[in-house]
Amino acid sequence: MTKSKYLPLIATTVIFVVAYALCYLQFPNILSTRVIGNLLTDNAFLGIAAIGMTFVILSGGIDLSIGSVIAFTGVFLAVILENTGIHPLFAFVLALIITTAFGALMGAIIHYLDMPAFIVTLAGMFLARGMAFVLSIDSVPIVHPFYKTLKAFYFKLPGGGRITLIGGLMLVMFVVGIIVAHRTRFGTNIYALGGGTQTARLMGVPVGRTTIMIYATSGFLAGLSGIVFSLYTSAGYSLAAVGVELDAIAAVVIGGTLLTGGAGFVAGTLIGVLIQGLIQTYITFDGTLSSWWTKIVIGLLLFVFILMQKGILLASKLERRA
Amino acid sequence: MTAKLPATLVRLLPQIATLAVVLILNVILFPSFFDLSVQNSRLYGSLIDVFNRGAPVALLAVGMTLVIATKGIDLSVGAVVAICGAVAAASVAGGHSVPVAVASALAVGMLCGIWNGFLVAVLGIQPIIATLVLMVAGRGIAQLITEGAILTFTDEGLIFIGSGTAFGLPMPIVIWVVFGLAVTLLVRRTALGLLIESIGVNRQASQLAGVRTTALLIASYLLAGLCAAIAGLIVAADIKGADANNAGLWLELDAILAVVVGGNSLLGGRFSILGSLLGAVIIQAVNTGILTSGFPPEYNLIIKAVIIVVILVIQSPRIGELSAFLKSVRQGNP
């Protein structure tokens, strides 16, 4: 049983390493620190949002609103920095408060109205995107000097690579996410909730508070991801980050988290994000392949991992019976 | 029959009332809303426009109703719309006749449905996740068929599906009304509808009771795929081209919304196709109302969100318990 618990994570890691090795054989430059640094920078917003998605899926739920929340945060920051004189740091705090409250509200609706997370967060997705549209339908550039300062901030790697602020922030958030998931009471409660609401309640897990906290965390991380995205693109656009929720779900599943909840690792999600980034990088290196192959390959990977999860569940059931 | 008709009406009363309110608001904002005129032996008017523009969502809602009734969901229909439009456009561009193009698009749609049904019914994967695979990969596949470009075509036969006239009405209206009625008759004049509901309530129990749940589940997803294929033909014929990126984008969410607005529970079980069709018309009437009244179209999404939340509150089991409790209290103290 303990073996099969780690199997999806091991499989993901092996696939990542083998895929990277294959890419390396074809394009030796892909192993440079420059490419690795860019891999982290380009996928920072997806990675941070995917941590929140991991928590939500571990608890047996789903959050479809994160793409819209990222776009809303970007537009909110751009509009507020353009029209008022407040410091970007203060605007960041405001944005995080709004998105966290938004997530908490969705969690409260899911718990108190006893409705499927899918449809509640669907409403959240419409609402956040709509609010972004109301703030501005145009792409608003961010020209604040503080953004330049933040973007100029990086850690130099040997070989010319750079870990930028946002790439580093993603790694830090993953470490925090791993600690929260495996070393705190809140993390244990999430896993318990994923095993079954009824069982969790009988074990004394505060179901309502945990549910609200999970979606608030997801909202907070989506807001943080929106800040990172606005740093990455230096603009706020209400049509940005469409479909990021799907990429995040794909990253979580490829990272080996069980979709029914209750089993999985935050670290796996990082590898899931990196696999998606690697596919994109390979397509860029190749130059002749079209970017839509990314979607097809990710769809195939999703399918393979879902099948593998089914196989593991079946095997553990047979084992228990024997 | 006479005893049955009022029951259906009572069941759909909230939807009919909502539609009436939306239409009346439209008339207040836009006095000529109900004006109909006949030109070139075809009806024209805002009301006809609502029914015409609502065709793709209405078609998708038919299949989605059955899938949701089995306690499932099909997220891939939007991507299937893009795939089937691309297939039809590519085969016309490749020199095939219109019947071949339509038949191949419908066949591909049903194939997509069977794939989803196989994942859900045979492999036992959660419907949200099973259909997510095709949702993510589907647009890539559509891009592959159109080779990344917007495939345009000038074949009159195929364009007729999107903008032709039949019985004095635009072709899309005729298609969705006939198709919706046909499916309703199929599931309500036979035991099929009841059996599908039984799967939604408890698959294991209906399996034990002798219902062929696997075949029925696959058939439900197949029908959803077929609906998506027809919608794909209409969307492609309407713009005279297949746009793999934008055709059917977010239509799956509108279809789900139509089903929910139609009074169907997302938790499976009892369903009403007529309700979902009404839901689709309500959504389109709101869209048209916002556009014609000069409100910025950005408010559309917010209004949709508010509609979902209101319906959630009404459908919520907790609210049901509360109202039942209030009723018993009132009866207890006369």
| Complex confidence, ipTM | 0.76
Tokens of B163: 């903008």
> Across the interface, do B133 and A302 touch by the CB < 8 Å criterion?
yes
Which residue do the tokens 């029908």 mark?
Answer: B223
Query: Does B301 contact A130 at a Cβ distance shorter than 8 Å?
Result: yes
Cβ burial, residue A144 (10 Å; 0-12/13-18/19+): middle
SS (H, E, C) A104-150: HHHHHHHHHCCCCHHHHHHHHHHHHHHHHHHHCCCCEECCCHHHHHH
Q: Which helix (H) or strand (E) holds B242?
A: strand B241-242
Cβ contacts (< 8 Å) between B253 and chain A: which residues? 122, 125-126
pLDDT of residue B317: 67
Considering only CB atoms, which chain A residues are within 8 Å of B148?
A: 290, 292
Inter-chain CB proximity B318 and A298 less than 8 Å: no
Closest CA–CA distance from residue A194 to any residue of chain B (Å) = 15
Under an 8 A CB cutoff, do A299 and B136 touch?
yes
**Location of structure tokens 């009304």:** B177
Closest CA of chain B from A240, distance in Å: 15
Contacts of B308 in chain A (CB under 8 A): 119, 122-123, 126
At B6 the pLDDT is 66
Chain B interface disruption, residue of A110, A245, A292, most B CBs within 10 A: A292
Residue A217 confidence (pLDDT): 95
Contact (CB<8Å) B312/A302: no
Residues of B in contact with A113 (CB under 8 A): 312-313, 316, 318-319
- Structure tokens belonging to residue A139: 């792409």
* Distance between B130 CA and the closest CA of chain A, angstroms: 8
Which residues of chain A neighbour B141 with C-beta distances below 8 Å? 296
- Whole-number Å distance between alpha carbons of B240 and B231: 14
Q: How confident is the model over B274-316, as pLDDT tens digits?
A: 889 998 998 888 888 777 777 777 777 787 778 777 777 776 6
Mean pLDDT calculated for residue range B65-91: 90
Q: Would you call B301 and A126 a contact, using CB atoms and an 8 Å cutoff?
A: yes
Chain B nearest CA to A180, separation (Å): 26
Q: pTM higher than 0.90 for the full model?
A: no
Contact B298 A137 (CB under 8 A): yes
Interface A-B, measured as beta-carbon pairs within 8 A, has a size of 118
Q: Do residue B298 and residue A310 have CB atoms under 8 angstroms apart? A: no
- To the nearest whole Å, the CA of B38 is away from the closest chain A CA by 37
Asked if B124 lies within 8 A of A120 by C-beta distance, the reply is no
pLDDT for A225 equals 95
Determine the Cα–Cα distance for residues B134 and B75; give it in Å rounded to an integer.
8
Give the gap in angstroms from C-alpha B6 to the nearest C-alpha of chain A. Answer: 30
- On chain A, the residues whose CB falls within 8 A of the CB of B125 are 306, 310
A2-321, CATH topology level: ABC transporter involved in vitamin B12 uptake, BtuC (1.10.3470)
pLDDT of residue B306: 82
Sole residue written with tokens 């891939």: B76
Yes or no, beta carbons of A295 and B137 under 8 Å apart: yes
Q: Where are the domains of chain A?
A: 2-321
What's the pLDDT score for residue A107?
94
Instruction: Return the higher-pLDDT residue of B155 and A63.
Output: A63
In whole angstroms, give the CA distance from residue B229 to residue B106.
5
- Across the interface, of A134, A246, A299, the residue whose CB is closest to B298 is A134
Query: Which helix H or strand E contains A43, and what residues bound it?
Result: none
Of A118, A127, A310, the CB nearest to B124: A310
| Cβ separation A299–B300 shorter than 8 A | no
pLDDT reading at B1 higher than 50: no
Strand B37-39 and strand B42-44: the pairing is antiparallel
Which amino acid makes up residue A278?
Answer: L
**C-alpha to C-alpha distances, B317 to A196, B153, B199, B265, nearest whole angstrom:** 19, 50, 20, 11
Does residue B271 or residue A308 have the better pLDDT? B271
Question: Residue B258: is its pLDDT beyond 50?
Answer: yes
- If you search the block for the tokens 């895929």, which residue do you land on? A19
Cβ separation A126–B319 shorter than 8 A: no
- pLDDT at residue B202 above 70? yes
Chain mean pLDDT for chain B: 83
Please answer yes or no on whether A296 and B316 come within 8 Å at the CB atom. no
pLDDT of B210 strictly over 90: no
Q: At what angle do helices B55-69 and B273-292 cross, to 10 degrees?
A: 140
Grade residue B268 by pLDDT with cuts at 50, 70 and 90: confident
Nearest CA in chain B to A305: B133
DSSP 8-state symbol, B92? H
* Cβ separation A126–B139 shorter than 8 A: no
Among chain B residues, the shortest Cα distance to A105 is held by B309
| pLDDT tens-place string over residues B224-251 | 999 999 999 999 888 888 887 777 777 8
| Cβ pair A302:B298 closer than 8 A | no
* pLDDT tens, chain A, 322 aa long: 456 677 778 888 888 898 889 888 888 888 888 888 888 888 999 999 999 999 999 998 889 899 999 999 999 999 998 888 888 899 999 999 999 999 999 999 999 888 888 888 888 988 898 899 888 888 888 888 888 888 777 777 777 778 888 888 999 999 999 999 989 999 999 999 988 888 888 888 899 999 999 999 999 999 999 999 999 988 888 888 877 888 898 899 888 888 777 788 899 999 999 998 988 888 888 877 777 787 788 888 888 888 877 787 777 777 777 6
Residue A154 β-bridge partners: A164
Query: B140 and A296: CB-CB below 8 Å?
Result: yes
Lowest mean pLDDT among B21-25, B102-106, B194-198: B21-25
- Res A101: pLDDT: 96
Residue of A273, A264, A169, A179 whose CA lies nearest to A221 = A169
Residue of A nearest to B320 (CA): A113
- Best mutation target among A56, A72, A113 (most B Cβ atoms within 10 Å) is A113
